[in-house]
Structure 1
Amino acid sequence: MGGGGRGEQEAIVDVGSAAEAIASGEETDTPLHQIESLCMRCGENGITRILLTRIPHFREVVLMAFECANCNERNSEVQFAGVIQPQGCRYQLKVAAGEPKILDRQVVKSDSASIRIPELDFEIPPEAQRGTLSTVEGILLRAINELEALQDERKKVDPETAEALDMFLTKLKSLAAGEGSFTFILDDPAGNSFIENPCAPSADPLLTITFYDRTPEQQASLGFLVDSSSSGNTESSGSEVLPEKSRYVPAGTKREPHGSIGATAGHRAIAQGTSEEVAAALFKYSAPEEVMAFPSTCGACASRCETRMYVTKIPYFQEVIVMASTCDTCGYRNSELKPGGAIPDRGKRITVRIQNAADVCRDVIKSDTASVRVPEVDLELASGTLGGLVTTVEGLLTKIQGNLERVHGFTLGDSIDEGKKNKWQEFNARLNKLLKVEEPWTLIIDDALANSFVAPATELIEDDHQLTFEEYERSWEQNEELGLNDMDTASADAAYDA
C-alpha cells in the first residue's frame, strides 16, 4: 500500500524536500527556518526545520520536522497557520474490503480532530494524535504502533487486558490491510481537517461531508471565550435566553413597526447581518411590516448577541422568514432564510435555461434542503450544501466556485499532481464560461421541501418559457431524511378541531 508503506512521518515531511520544491516554483518564496532544539530522547541538541506553506487539497500549514544527529531521533508535526473555520466538519468514508486505493486517500487531521471506527467501537481522541498529513492506512498503522508500544509491560501487570487488546489489534490490523469493510469518521470542530475526494468535482459515493455548528463545549476546547450563563436557558436575573435560531419572541422583544421608522430601518437591520444581498433582493418584492429583534447566542464565540427577524411574502412563491445576527464581541455575522407556513405535500424541481447576461441576474432563493445541478459541466451539489441562500444565478455559481476552492484548494501547493492541477484549471475555466454565458447552459434546483425559487424574467411567470417548475412525489428515503416519516400531528389536529 502506498500510504502505509511510507508511514505517517514520510507522508508529511522531509521538510527539506518540500522547501526545495517551494524554492524551485514560482508560487512562493517562503523561507525554511532551522533552529536548535532539545532532543527529548538523548538530551542533546538537534535541529528543527520549520516551513510555512500551502498543501494540495487544503490551506496554510506550518510543517515542522525534528532530527537529532546524536541518537537519530526523528519526528514531524503539522500545525495550522490559517483561521478556525466558522463551522465544524465531519467526514464519513466507507471503506470496502479488498479496495486498497481507498486506504491510500490523503487525510489531513488537525490537532482538534477525532477519528472513529464505529464497527470496532474505536476512537482516537484529539490529544492522542497530533496534527498530521497522512493516509487512512497511515493513521491506522500509527494507532496500531502506539497501542502495541507497552504490550510487553501490560502482559506482566494485567494479562487479561493485554489479551483483549491483542484481539482488538488483530481486527485493526486486518482493516489496515484491506481485509474488512469499515467506516472511517473524521470529526473536527475547528473545520480544518480533510479527506481526499478523488472523484472531485463530482460527488463521491463513498464520502459524506457534513458541516455543523459547534457546541459551547467545543467552543471552549478551541480556546473561545464562552459565556457560562449562555449555556443554560435562564440568566441569573431570570430573563429568558433563546438560541440563535429560535423562532419564538420572548418578553421584552423590541418591535420596530413599519410606519414609524419604515422599510429603511428594516433594510439597515438586515444589512448589519451581512445580508445586503438578502435585503436588496427581497425588498424589491415587499417591505417588512415590522422587524423584530430578540436576544440570541453567537454561533462563533457563544457570546450574547442580537438576532433581527422579519416576515415577507414573495410573489409566485410563499411567505419567508429572514433572520440576521451580528456579534459585537467577535464580529461574526450570519444571515439565513427560512420558509414559512406548512410543509408542502410535494417536492419541486426548478429548471432554468441560461441564455444571456440578463438570465444570470435572476434572483434565486436556495433553501438548505435543495440540491443544485449543472449538467453541462457535470456539477452537482448534494442537498444541504452551502445552506440557505438569497442571491442571483451569478452569485450562486460564484459561491459554488469559491466554496470548491476553499474546501479543496486543488490548485494550491508545491507537490500537487500536474494532472489534477490541469483538471481543476480546466473545470474552473468552464465555470467562468458559464458566468460569461458564452454558450447556453441549464441550472437545476431540486428541493424536496419545495422551498426554493427562481424569479421569472417576465411580468407573468407563465410567459417565461426558459423557466419551468415541476412538482413530484417525495420518495420514502427523502421523507426519512427530512424526518417526515416519524412526524405525528394527530394530537395537534385534534386540539385544533376541538
Structure 2
Amino acid sequence: MDAPPAEKTSQSEPRIVDVRSVVEAVSAQDSDTPLYEVESLCMRCGDNGITRFLLTLIPHFRKILLSAFECPHCGERNNEVQFAGEIQPKGCQYHLEVPSGDKKMFNRQVVKSETATIKIPELGFEIPTEAQRGSLSTVEGILVRAADELEALQDERKKVDPLTAEAIDEFLKKLRACATGDSHFTFILDDPAGNSFIENPYAPSPDPLLIIKSYERTPEQHASLGYLVDPSQVGEPYAEPTTDGITSIPQIQSEPHGSVGAKAGRKAIAQGNSVESVDALFRYSSPEEVMTFPSTCGACATKSECRMFVTNIPYFREVIVMASSCDACGYRNSEVKPGGPISDKGKRITVSVKNVRDLTRDVIKSDTAGVIIPEIELELTSGTLGGLVTTVEGLISKIGESLERVHGFTFGDSVDYTKKVKWQEFREKLEKLKSLEEPWTLIIDDALSNSFVAPATDELKDDNQLTLEEYERSLEQNEELGLNDMDTSSADVYVDAK
C-alpha cells in the first residue's frame, strides 16, 4: 500500500519526500538537500517503522548517505553510514594507542565504512565487516556497541552452552574495561576501500598515538570489494593461454625510448644544436629502452601493463621510474623507486626557501620520508603523503590537500568554533608559504636516504640554501624499516665465492 505523499514543511525545516528506493535519494542533485522518508519493517517487533535518508557531503572528506530508523511501536532505533562516493586508490590502516585513564581518547570521531574491520590485539578481538555496518561514532561508542551486541544473547547461551557463556562473560569484563578507560589497548581500524577515518585532535601537528598507513590492495581484497578478479591473479602470476593449451608466463618486453637520454644526446650533437645537447646530456639521463611487464590495475584489478625504466639523477642516485595505466577504467599511476643498495645512513635535507626559484626546485619525497616546516609548527611523519615527485611549491599544495581530506570533519558545521578557527589560520599559513611573504625552511628527513631536492646551482657545494646532513639510524628506526631482521649472509657468501 502506497503511503500518501508528505507535505512540504516550512523553509526552516528539512524537506520530507517519500521514495520507494534509496537510489532516488542517492541520485538527488538538488543543492537544497532533501530528507527522504520510507516505511520499513522493524526487525524487533515486526511492525512498520520509518527510515530517514540524507545524502550529505562532509567538507573536504567525501559524500556519504546517512540513514536512521525509528519504530514508534517498540522504540527500536539504529543508524548507518554508507559511502556514496568512489573507492579510494589505496586501502588505509589506523593504529591508535589508547592509554588507560585518558578519557579524551574515547571522544575521537571514528568513521567506519561497511568494508572496514576493527581489531584490539591485546584482547585477540576483531569486529569483522559483517558484524557492524558503516557508522559515524566515537572510539567509546564502537566498543560499547560491540559489548552490548555480545551480551545480547547471553541468557540463551547459558542455557545451551554454559562454558562458552562463562568465557564470554570474562571477555566482556575486559572489553568494558577498555571502553571505560581502565585498561591500555591498541585500536586498529583497517579498511581496504580507504573510506574510514580516525580523528586527530592535534592536527595539523602529528599525533604521537596515531599512526596512519596506506597500502596496495591484494587480489583477495579486490574481490571482497566487489571487483571482478581473475582467479589466476590470486596467489600466483597470471598466465597467457597458448594454442596448444599450455599456459606460459609472459616475459618482460622492451620498447625503444628514444626521446631523451643518450640517444637524444647523440641526435642533438649530430644536428649541431648546442642547446639541446646541454639539455639532453646534463639533465637527468635516461636509458635506451623502457621495459614493459604485465600487472594489475590498482583500482579495478583488471590486467594492465606497467612500464619501467632506470635513470640516474645527478647528485642523488639511480632511481626506477614505474608508470601504469588501465584501459578498462582509465586509472593512472606513477611511482619512483630508489635503485641500488640500502643506504648505510639516513639523510636530512634542509632548504631555506627565500625566492621564487626555490619554489620551483625539483623534489623527490620517498614514502619513508617525513616533512618538517618549523615556522608553522608542521611535522608530517614518514609515509603520510607516500612517494612524490614534485616541486617545493607542489609539495606544500599536496600537504594542504591531504590534511583537508583526512581531517575534513574539522571544517564541518558541528565542529567546535576554536578548532575551526585554528584550521582556518593554519590554511592561511600554508598559503603564505607559497606567496613568500617571509623566508621559511623546508626539512625532509629520510631514514633510508631516498629523498632528493635539486640544487639551484650547477655545483652542489655552491648552493648555500641547500644543506645535506647524514646521520646514523637508531635501533627503533631500523626496526620500523625491517632492517634488523634482514639477513643477507647467503648473498654475501655467493658474492665472495664469485
Q: TM-score, normalised by structure 1?
A: 0.86
CA contact (8 A) 1:84 1:191 kept: yes
Cross-structure match for 2:421: 422
Q: How far did 1:485 drift?
A: 2.0
Q: How far did 1:265 drift?
A: 12
Instruction: Tell me, yes or no, if structure 1 residue 216 matches structure 2 residue 215.
Output: no
What SS is found at the alignment partner of 2:143? helix
Q: How far did 1:256 drift?
A: 2.1
Instruction: Tell me, yes or no, if structure 1 residue 495 matches structure 2 residue 498.
Output: no
Cross-structure match for 1:458: 457
Q: How far did 1:410 drift?
A: 4.2
After superposition, the C-alpha distances for 1:322-370 in whole angstroms (9 at most, x for unaligned) are 0001111222211100111122221111100000111100001111211
Q: How far did 1:20 drift?
A: 5.5
CA contact (8 A) 1:230 1:302 kept: no
Q: Which runs of 5+ in 1 are unaligned?
A: 1-15, 242-249, 267-279
Instruction: Tell me, yes or no, if structure 1 residue 444 matches structure 2 residue 443.
Output: yes
Change (3 A) 1:57 1:130: farther
For 1:6-45, list aligned pairs within 5 A: 29-45=32-48
Cross-structure match for 2:84: 81
Instruction: Tell me, yes or no, if structure 1 residue 227 matches structure 2 residue 230.
Output: yes
CA contact (8 A) 1:56 1:416 kept: no
Counterpart of 1:100, as a letter, is K
Change (3 A) 1:410 1:442: farther
Cross-structure match for 2:147: 144
Q: How far did 1:194 drift?
A: 1.0
Instruction: Tell me, yes or no, if structure 1 residue 313 matches structure 2 residue 317.
Output: no
Counterpart of 2:80, as a letter, is E
- Structure 2: distance between partners of 1:262 and 1:464: 27
**Over 6 Å off, 4+ runs:** 261-266, 280-283
Q: Which runs of 5+ in 2 are unaligned?
A: 1-8, 17-29, 265-278
- Structure 1: distance between partners of 2:165 and 2:47: 35
- Structure 2: distance between partners of 1:180 and 1:22: 46
Higher relative contact order (CA 8 A, sep 6+): 1
What SS is found at the alignment partner of 1:52? strand
Q: How far did 1:37 drift?
A: 2.6
Change (3 A) 1:387 1:92: same
Paired positions, count: 455
Cross-structure match for 1:356: 355
- Structure 1: distance between partners of 2:112 and 2:282: 44
Change (3 A) 1:446 1:190: same
- Structure 1: distance between partners of 2:15 and 2:108: 23
- Structure 1: distance between partners of 2:486 and 2:381: 24
Q: How far did 1:165 drift?
A: 1.0
- Structure 2: distance between partners of 1:265 and 1:154: 76
- Structure 2: distance between partners of 1:216 and 1:365: 29
Change (3 A) 1:99 1:377: same
Cross-structure match for 1:12: none
For 1:69-108, list aligned pairs within 5 A: 69-108=72-111
Cross-structure match for 2:336: 337
Of 64, 72, 82 in structure 1, the residue corresponding to residue 67 of structure 2 is: 64
Cross-structure match for 2:365: 366
Cross-structure match for 1:479: 478
What SS is found at the alignment partner of 1:358? helix
Q: How far did 1:301 drift?
A: 2.1
Cross-structure match for 1:3: none
Counterpart of 1:398, as a letter, is S
- Structure 2: distance between partners of 1:303 and 1:378: 43
- Structure 1: distance between partners of 2:434 and 2:440: 10
- Structure 1: distance between partners of 2:379 and 2:14: 34
Q: Percent identity?
A: 68
After superposition, the C-alpha distances for 1:107-164 in whole angstroms (9 at most, x for unaligned) are 1111111111111111111110111111111111111111111111111111111111
User: RMSD between aligned alpha carbons?
Assistant: 2.6
Q: How far did 1:414 drift?
A: 2.9
Of 125, 128, 138 in structure 1, the residue corresponding to residue 131 of structure 2 is: 128
Instruction: Tell me, yes or no, if structure 1 residue 119 matches structure 2 residue 122.
Output: yes
CA contact (8 A) 1:56 1:414 kept: no
- Structure 2: distance between partners of 1:348 and 1:282: 27
Q: TM-score, normalised by structure 2?
A: 0.86
Counterpart of 1:495, as a letter, is Y
Counterpart of 1:36, as a letter, is E
Change (3 A) 1:351 1:109: same
Cross-structure match for 2:187: 184
Cross-structure match for 2:323: 324
- Please, which moves more after superposition, 124-133 or 473-482? 473-482
- Structure 1: distance between partners of 2:148 and 2:307: 53
Cross-structure match for 2:273: none
Counterpart of 2:484, as a letter, is N
- Structure 2: distance between partners of 1:153 and 1:382: 49
What SS is found at the alignment partner of 1:420? helix
Counterpart of 2:107, as a letter, is D
Q: How far did 1:40 drift?
A: 3.1
Counterpart of 2:478, as a letter, is N
Counterpart of 1:360, as a letter, is L
CA contact (8 A) 1:230 1:303 kept: no
Cross-structure match for 2:112: 109
After superposition, the C-alpha distances for 1:8-67 in whole angstroms (9 at most, x for unaligned) are xxxxxxxx9xx96999xxx96312122223333344332221111134784321111122
Cross-structure match for 1:298: 297
- Structure 1: distance between partners of 2:304 and 2:164: 50
Q: How far did 1:180 drift?
A: 0.8
Change (3 A) 1:309 1:283: farther
- Structure 2: distance between partners of 1:297 and 1:159: 50
Instruction: Tell me, yes or no, if structure 1 residue 376 matches structure 2 residue 375.
Output: yes
Q: How far did 1:177 drift?
A: 1.4
Q: How far did 1:281 drift?
A: 12
- Please, which moves more after superposition, 481-490 or 281-290? 281-290
Counterpart of 1:386, as a letter, is L
After superposition, the C-alpha distances for 1:51-93 in whole angstroms (9 at most, x for unaligned) are 1113478432111112222333322111111211111111111
